[in-house]
């Protein structure tokens, strides 16, 4: 797959979806999901101007980040994060999309404080109550935010929410889930302040409805890199 063509097609899809929803394409951050992709493929997208990359396996990610040190990119951790891997967040990631407990947030805060940095956190919500997916229940979201704000953890910034679309859902079901997450973000902003501004939702197959329902970040792998081996 030609990287210039692939990224142009994805950016066009983003622009058209943003226009349909009365927004600018600049309001949507494209996160290229580079898991199980070789460094050369990532470098090709960097050469095309791509700046945000997402990984879901910590050791693989740390190896790539080390190899690409100095490149003008931001790294996003988008996989389920085990507590014993949080020590790698500092010095490596600008964003973690998958926080689903106070314990995990505390561990991340300790990691980035030791590194003398800060990290942006998104709270993962299992908006469709899918038992096969990680993430907190909607009813647990406000108590979790209350806890984290009361603890005043240093070096972490609560920036918004993330969800993963349900597999094999029809468009109505997909849109309902995405709209539900947007409504939750609006409630968070009203209750906790304007720092809650980011919605990470939508992938290669459903980025259009995600953007039309308010996504500020889309996580795209296959449409940029092609099928993984």
Residue-wise pLDDT for 10-46, tens only, equals 999 999 999 999 999 999 999 999 999 999 999 999 9
The pTM (predicted TM-score) of the whole model is 0.95
Token pair in block for residue 80: 């389920």
Where does 79-211 show beta strands of DSSP type E?
95-99, 119-124, 156-162, 198-200
Residue-wise pLDDT for 147-162, tens only, equals 999 999 989 999 999 9
Least confident of 42-51, 66-75, 116-125, 129-138: 129-138
Taken as a whole, the chain contains a residue count of 229
Rounded to an integer, what distance in angstroms lies between the CA atom of residue 119 and that of residue 167? 30
Residue-wise pLDDT for 165-214, tens only, equals 877 788 898 999 999 999 999 999 999 999 999 999 999 999 999 999 99
Token pair in block for residue 50: 């791509």
Which of 118, 102, 97 shows the shortest CA–CA distance to 181? 97
Rounded to an integer, what distance in angstroms lies between the CA atom of residue 56 and that of residue 164? 13
Q: Are 111 and 149 in contact (CB under 8 A)?
A: no
Architecture in CATH for domain 3-167+180-205+215-225: Alpha-Beta Barrel (3.20)
């Amino acid at each position: 797959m030609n990287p210039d063509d692939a990224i142009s097609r994805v950016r066009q899809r983003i622009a058209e979806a943003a226009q349909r929803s009365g927004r600018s394409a600049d309001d949507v951050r494209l996160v290229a999901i580079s898991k199980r992709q070789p460094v050369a493929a990532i470098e090709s997208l960097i050469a095309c101007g791509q700046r945000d990359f997402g990984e879901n396996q910590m050791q693989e990610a740390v190896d790539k980040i080390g190899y690409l040190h100095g490149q003008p990119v931001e790294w996003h951790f988008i996989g389920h994060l085990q507590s014993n891997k949080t020590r790698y967040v500092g010095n490596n990631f600008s964003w973690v999309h998958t926080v689903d407990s106070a314990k995990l947030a505390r561990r991340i805060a300790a990691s980035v404080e030791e590194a003398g940095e800060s990290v942006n956190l998104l709270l993962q919500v299992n908006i469709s109550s899918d038992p096969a997916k990680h993430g907190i229940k909607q009813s647990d979201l406000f108590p979790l935010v209350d806890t984290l704000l009361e603890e005043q953890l240093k070096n972490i910034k609560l920036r918004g929410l993330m969800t993963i679309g349900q597999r094999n859902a029809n468009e109505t079901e997909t849109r309902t889930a995405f709209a539900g997450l947007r409504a939750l973000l609006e409630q968070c902003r009203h209750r906790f302040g304007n720092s809650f501004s980011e919605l990470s939702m939508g992938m290669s197959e459903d980025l259009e409805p995600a953007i039309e329902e308010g996504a500020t970040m889309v996580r795209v792998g296959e449409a940029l890199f092609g099928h993984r081996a």
